Structure 1
Amino acid sequence: MKDVILLPTYNERENVNFIVPKIFNIVPDVHIIVVDDNSPDKTAQDVQELMHKFPNLSLLFRESKTGLGDAYKDGIRRVVFDPEVRNIITMDADGSHDPGYLTEILRYIEYSDFVVC
């Protein structure tokens, strides 16, 4: 079973190069899906480079920017029916959601249906 983090991005090139390695350092077995809204700053290209280093990282590229809510919905649609997915975690790529809480979130979710942090 796998835990998946959805990380929507739009012009987050600098941030993904910081947050992705930080997340994998804290929870190495997690799977991260970056949902990029066709960022003009080439966020998607940086994610593709990071994918060579982190095999549990993937990119869901969206052709246009339709908003954060749609990015989360598309990401959830990608994983919700995968029988291997145990938990779905949503985070912002700008660092406003501290990855330091991930181990605690994953511990609490073992005994709960839903965790908000």
Structure 2
Amino acid sequence: MNPPATCVCIPTYEERESLPRTLDGVLRAVPDAHVLVIDDNSPDGTGELADRLAAEDPRVHVLHRPGKAGLGPAYIAGFRWALAQGFDVVAQMDADGSHRPEDLPRLLAGLARADAVLGSRWVPGGAVADWPRSRELLSRGANRYVRAALRLPVGDATGGFRAFRRHTLERLDLDAVQSQGYCFQIDMARQVWSRGLRLVEVPILFVNREFGASKMSSRIIREALVRVTAWSLSSRRPAPAVRPASTGGERLVHRVAA
């Protein structure tokens, strides 16, 4: 049998309460998609719950990892699994309800004119709901620093709601991605950009999680600051250009020839 076109990768660590709702929403929004739950041996039984849900629906798969090793390694493992299974499109999203499944079809539709699509909170039409002001300021400030330091012309380089064409992931050096926290999102975006691939930003509504606790920490913030600063000192690229797309706040990013 030929595999279905789309795999949605969802990393989990102690997301037992939110996972069933997220899976149900994804499979309702994109019925032809498959979902890969990547669990880092959650002590609350998220992995065991995912196994039961997978037994009930052939579109759900589970990748068990031995322990908590960070967001980046979990996604890389998921991407490799999806590529090995022959999926044409690989998407990623959080399990905690922050990323709305109803926005997923628009992200996937964006791949018709791009190699990678970023769900963006910080382009026209994008927004956050029920987020503490401190988190919003942190996210906006981090993205401003990324744009200035890396000359990466995207509004939301740290967001985790994304979709990639198969050939995009195959062209990236996944072995070189060492970032563990949300810096992984910046790392992937800069790799796509540096290879001259086309990026589209699609506005999304980001909703603060209802269940569980945020994984954000000072260590994760320090990792991003150190890595972005190091990349900025080692990179030399021509100035980017951004061409607004014609609809709904969506933005097409393309490179200027050297």
Give the TM-score normalised by structure 2.
0.43
Structure-2 residue corresponding to 1:55: 58
1:1-117 aligned within 5 A: 1-82=4-85, 84-117=86-119
How many residues are matched? 116
Unaligned runs of 5+ residues in structure 1 are none
Letter in 1 for 2:55: H
Structure number, greater radius of gyration: 2
Q: Distance in 1 between matches of 2:79 and 2:61?
A: 14
TM-score, reference length from structure 1: 0.93
Distance apart, 1:80 and its partner CA: 2.3
Separation in 1, partners of 2:56, 2:83: 26
Q: Which has the higher contact order (CA 8 A, sep 6+)?
A: 1
- Counterpart-to-counterpart distance in 2, 1:17 and 1:108: 27
Superposed CA offset, 1:83-111 (max 9, x none): x3111101010111111111111111122
* Secondary structure at 2:79 match in 1: helix
Amino acid at match of 1:102: L
SS in 2 for 1:65: coil
Extract structure 1 runs of 4+ deviating beyond 3 A. none
Identity of aligned residues (%): 36
Give a deviation string over 1:39-61, Cα, whole Å, max 9, x none. Answer: 00100111111113221100000
